[in-house]
Amino acid sequence: MGFFSDLKEDLNQAVTELTPEAGEASEAVKEEETKLDMEALLDNIDETVSKVSEEPAADRKPAPKFSDETATITAGMDITGDITSAGSVDLLGSVKGNITISGKLNILGSIEGDSKASEIYAENAKIMGEVNSTGSVKVGQSTVIIGNIFATSAVIAGAVKGDIDVKGPVVLDTSAIVMGNIKSKSVQINNGAVIEGICSQCYADVSPTSFFDEFKKNKK
């Protein structure tokens, strides 16, 4: 019995001595696995960043360039310098410089410079410069514009000294005064409007030149 007791004690001692080493080995294995997982994660991140860097700029989604906020330039404010905004602007004061915005531009003051916006409305305004809109342009009564107008549609009730180039319809109200050429898809001239220039419906669906050339060929 003494032999077996001694053997049991020896075995227990051996197991006790080996257990910490086994535990340490297990911890080492876990640390190695964690290290490998982190390295794999970092490799995936590097690969993703590399793909984004190599992606053509044209395929990337552009950041939003429009804001629904509206800035107001009060009647007593005079600004010298260019204005750029992702939103809309209500101009009641005066600006000496170019205005480029993504939203709507409401002008009730004066501008000495070019204006560009998605829509432009001028009422009792004084503008010396080009007016460029990706949408509509509305020139109210008592507004004077000295400069060319570019838009997709236009309603003119004020005075314009410059060419009007509109891809869509142009309406000249009874109080309109235009000194310049008009290029558009269609023109509506109300009784009382005054025009000094050439009106060309070059953007119309029907080309007069093509029509009469075809007429001559058929006549022969």
Same domain, 47 and 117: no
Mean pLDDT lowest among 63-72, 117-126, 197-206: 63-72
Same domain, 120 and 95: yes
Does the pLDDT of residue 63 top 50, yes or no? Answer: no
Examine residue 91 and state whether it is found in any structural domain, yes or no: yes
Same domain, 106 and 188: yes
Does the pLDDT of residue 92 top 50, yes or no? Answer: yes
Examine residue 84 and state whether it is found in any structural domain, yes or no: yes
Same domain, 20 and 80: no
Same domain, 155 and 120: yes
Same domain, 132 and 160: yes
Same domain, 169 and 83: yes
What pLDDT shows up at residue 213?
73
Number of domains present in the structure of the chain: 2
Same domain, 19 and 116: no
Calculate the alpha carbon distances from 114 to 84, 100, 149 in Å: 12, 8, 10
Same domain, 94 and 142: yes
Examine residue 129 and state whether it is found in any structural domain, yes or no: yes
Examine residue 147 and state whether it is found in any structural domain, yes or no: yes
What pLDDT shows up at residue 214?
72
The per-residue pLDDT of the chain, averaged, comes to 82
Note the pTM of the prediction, 2 decimals: 0.67
Examine residue 209 and state whether it is found in any structural domain, yes or no: no
Residues of the domain holding 179? 70-200
For 164, the token pair is 């009007």
Instruction: For residue 153, name the pLDDT band (cuts at 50, 70, 90).
Output: very high
Examine residue 217 and state whether it is found in any structural domain, yes or no: no
Same domain, 40 and 148: no
Examine residue 220 and state whether it is found in any structural domain, yes or no: no
- Give the whole-angstrom CA distance, residue 102 versus residue 128: 21
Does the pLDDT of residue 11 top 50, yes or no? Answer: no
